[in-house]
Chain A
């Protein structure tokens, strides 16, 4: 008879069998048996964060940059509620997380015991699934199933709530079963006729556009390779959502920039005027579509997605292909190559006029800005950061706001899994802990959090984690003293009533860095910027970089709310724009 194991031992057995290397967590009363067991399992390393939200975001950064699930360990009550933001964030952006939470002993559940909360009730709407383990015999099965649910189909967070008495109870350990499909769900449901129809639409199109999203990243590095091959074969222009950046090289000529609210003029106009729109692993988010009624009115729409509920949710499509992005693309590429002559040549003739139009839109230079010699423009700072770090394999995380959009616009990504940002939930405070997680996964790579001073203060305590584990993360703060995106909206929509968007009494970031035991660097003028960035990059240890930028800069171009893609507001460089600003209020 095999040796009986405690619940805590089983937790680690499962983690080992699921090849988990790191867990991000914070101890507390209801998880102490699991923490007690930690010392016996060398292959599973625990990263002690300073707040459970930080553990969640760090696990997200780890997962996004590796493709493996991130694992979180927290205690009951406040431990669990603190991680809710990160779970919701992961749910919105389809990041695989497995969160293990402690719970009060079974006999105390429902009695308002110390540090008790209805964890499964609270996290039910922000996880793919969750479990309260009431019987030790179910524990190993549940943990293995949790990993399966988190990582298959459209990935997402799951939570396992383990009462303290279950952690002490003993039973046999069960190894994970191979090829388990709960309720018989398969994810590739497309047929060859759908692929044929896709090819047919492609060959007929005169104004096509490919719109790719985070699904390509989630499908793995092979999907990015397939996407590149597919785009080259068709010769079509490609745009990407915020989450999809890096799946296709940002510097490639066929890439016409990010689309959506702060996307490029050429990408949004092409979306509006196209006759064929191929959505690959994106979800028609409201930051992308603008006004639904006038979204891409003349196009046939194709939607490739692993999640059937994403299809026809917001935009009705003509052809839906449900499946893993890579599988669908491989299938399409195979078919294209099989066709005699390929349609590479004829297709390029078909769409040459369209490319001409796109080139015209490109000349607007919608990401342009008026640079200054006196103050650092935030766009300039991101551009310099890119130029000075592009020669190495750099991982970028961001917080949420203007700096995030500038990073997306001006930092060019050439590989998948190099860009970690909170898109769906828009969580300020995501970037710093995410950088911790990324650096844990990639100890020798350059990891930079492009941050805003307001966001970064929300999870600043994780600098202490970075110092503890010698994680040389660089926190590049575009400090404009405002909640910049809030200020921008107030300027455009609320008659410049900057209600509570200015931060009084900001800390001295250099001294703050020193207080945490890391390096602080401050840049105030464009002249010193390059040298200071080099100093940051070359420093072997964590850095907080206080980049003091123009506080009044706005993020352009933008699609005002309730407007279609072809009615963008461009930056101050554009001559037509002055007319638009005159009517600005009626427009936005």
Chain B
């Protein structure tokens, strides 16, 4: 229980948190990312990951993908608040469990060590579309694309084998099939 000596109400029980992925189409103009991110921080919403880039140069549209957690009520609010921003064109939100949507993250992994260790690392990455971007006698830079938790797992696994540096993107999302979100 909070302190009752207050002019404000006491916080009530929090509901279950769900992980959602928001895809936001915005005008690619100065400050637009700050508007979106400021909305999250200002209202106390969480950002787990963020990915943004221009997707349509002719129409000047950027696509922002945000992974967040919240109660169903909060998720609803995020969506409605995002839609109120002037440069926002449309907002889609997907549950992480949604089978109709593909989620992907990319990671660059730098491993430093002896040849045997490096070979082991490359092998371990096999199921995540590994691309060797750079290779020397003592090091290798591997690119993998996978789900967030898979990359988490890989980082853990490769640590003892000489993983020294990890760079990751936020998640991006795309619906399966011919349908396009309107």
B127 at the interface (CB under 8 A from A): no
Stretch of B1-9, B143-151, B159-167 with 4 or more beta carbons under 8 angstroms from chain A: B1-9
Contact with A149, one of B5, B10, B76, B86 (Cβ below 8 angstroms): B86
Stretch of B34-42, B94-102, B130-138 with 4 or more beta carbons under 8 angstroms from chain A: B34-42
Stretch of A193-201, A229-237, A305-313, A441-449 with 4 or more beta carbons under 8 angstroms from chain B: A305-313
Asked if residues A312 and B76 are in contact (CB atoms below 8 Å), the reply is yes
Asked if residues B8 and A561 are in contact (CB atoms below 8 Å), the reply is yes
Closest to B82 in A: A309
Closest to A145 in B: B86
Which chain B residues (1-48) contact chain A, with CB distance < 8 Å? 4-10, 12, 30-31, 34-35, 38, 42
A183 at the interface (CB under 8 A from B): yes
B81 at the interface (CB under 8 A from A): yes
Contacts of B73 in A (CB 8 A): 312-313, 316
Asked if residues B84 and A120 are in contact (CB atoms below 8 Å), the reply is no
B97 → A minimal CB distance (Å): 22
Closest to B76 in A: A312
B15 → A minimal CB distance (Å): 11
A561 to B5, CA, bound (A): 8
Asked if residues B7 and A561 are in contact (CB atoms below 8 Å), the reply is yes
Asked if residues A120 and B31 are in contact (CB atoms below 8 Å), the reply is yes
A289 to B89, CA, bound (A): 33
Asked if residues B6 and A561 are in contact (CB atoms below 8 Å), the reply is yes
A291 at the interface (CB under 8 A from B): yes
A129 to B38, CA, bound (A): 13
Contact with B5, one of A129, A134, A293, A493 (Cβ below 8 angstroms): A493
Given contacts A129-B86, A561-B9, whether A124 and B34 have CB atoms under 8 Å apart is yes
Given contacts A182-B86, A183-B88, A307-B84, whether A561 and B38 have CB atoms under 8 Å apart is no
Asked if residues A561 and B31 are in contact (CB atoms below 8 Å), the reply is no
A215 → B minimal CB distance (Å): 15
Contact with B81, one of A121, A291, A309 (Cβ below 8 angstroms): A309
Which chain A residues (256-300) contact chain B, with CB distance < 8 Å? 286, 289-293
Contacts of A312 in B (CB 8 A): 73, 76-77
Contacts of A493 in B (CB 8 A): 5-6
Contacts of A125 in B (CB 8 A): 38, 42
Count class of interface residues, chain A: 20 to 34
Asked if residues B86 and A309 are in contact (CB atoms below 8 Å), the reply is no
B83 at the interface (CB under 8 A from A): yes
A169 at the interface (CB under 8 A from B): no
Contacts of B55 in A (CB 8 A): none
A132 at the interface (CB under 8 A from B): yes
Asked if residues A132 and B30 are in contact (CB atoms below 8 Å), the reply is yes
Asked if residues A293 and B86 are in contact (CB atoms below 8 Å), the reply is no
A199 to B39, CA, bound (A): 37
Closest to B26 in A: A183
A294 → B minimal CB distance (Å): 10
A289 to B6, CA, bound (A): 15
Contacts of A149 in B (CB 8 A): 86
B80 at the interface (CB under 8 A from A): yes
Q: Between A and B, how many residue pairs show CB distances below 8 Å?
A: 62
Proximity string of chain B (70-82) to chain A, C-beta cutoff 8 Å, 1 when within and 0 when not: 0001001100110
Contacts of A124 in B (CB 8 A): 31, 34-35, 38
Contacts of A286 in B (CB 8 A): 8-9
Given contacts A124-B34, A124-B38, whether A293 and B12 have CB atoms under 8 Å apart is yes
Contacts of B5 in A (CB 8 A): 493-494, 588
Best-buried of B4, B38, B88 by chain A (most CB within 10 Å):
B4
Asked if residues A562 and B83 are in contact (CB atoms below 8 Å), the reply is no
A261 → B minimal CB distance (Å): 9
A124 to B84, CA, bound (A): 13
B91 → A minimal CB distance (Å): 11
A190 at the interface (CB under 8 A from B): no
A206 at the interface (CB under 8 A from B): no
A418 at the interface (CB under 8 A from B): no
Given contacts A132-B30, A494-B5, whether A561 and B10 have CB atoms under 8 Å apart is yes
Asked if residues A309 and B80 are in contact (CB atoms below 8 Å), the reply is yes
Best-buried of A121, A183, A312, A493 by chain B (most CB within 10 Å):
A183
A215 to B57, CA, bound (A): 40
Asked if residues B83 and A121 are in contact (CB atoms below 8 Å), the reply is no
Asked if residues A292 and B9 are in contact (CB atoms below 8 Å), the reply is yes
Given contacts A124-B34, A125-B38, A309-B80, whether A291 and B86 have CB atoms under 8 Å apart is no
Closest to B84 in A: A309
A164 at the interface (CB under 8 A from B): no
A128 to B9, CA, bound (A): 27
A399 to B77, CA, bound (A): 32
Contacts of B35 in A (CB 8 A): 124
A502 at the interface (CB under 8 A from B): no
A182 to B73, CA, bound (A): 27
Closest to A128 in B: B86
A489 at the interface (CB under 8 A from B): yes
Proximity string of chain A (86-126) to chain B, C-beta cutoff 8 Å, 1 when within and 0 when not: 00000000000000000000000000000000001100110
A183 to B42, CA, bound (A): 24
B12 → A minimal CB distance (Å): 5
Given contacts A124-B34, A125-B42, A309-B81, whether A562 and B9 have CB atoms under 8 Å apart is yes
Closest to A182 in B: B86
A59 → B minimal CB distance (Å): 21
Identify the B interface with A (CB < 8 A).
4-10, 12, 30-31, 34-35, 38, 42, 73, 76-77, 80-81, 83-89
Q: List 26 A-B contacts (CB under 8 A).
A: A120-B31, A124-B31, A124-B34, A124-B38, A128-B84, A129-B85, A129-B86, A149-B86, A183-B87, A290-B9, A292-B9, A309-B83, A309-B84, A311-B80, A312-B73, A313-B73, A313-B77, A316-B73, A493-B5, A561-B6, A561-B9, A561-B10, A562-B6, A562-B9, A562-B10, A588-B5
Other A-B contacts than A121-B31, A308-B83, A313-B77, 11 sampled, CB-CB below 8 A, are A120-B31, A124-B31, A124-B35, A128-B84, A128-B86, A134-B30, A291-B9, A309-B80, A313-B73, A493-B6, A588-B4
The 9 closest A-B pairs by CB, nearest first: A309-B80, A129-B86, A562-B10, A493-B5, A125-B42, A308-B80, A309-B81, A183-B89, A561-B6
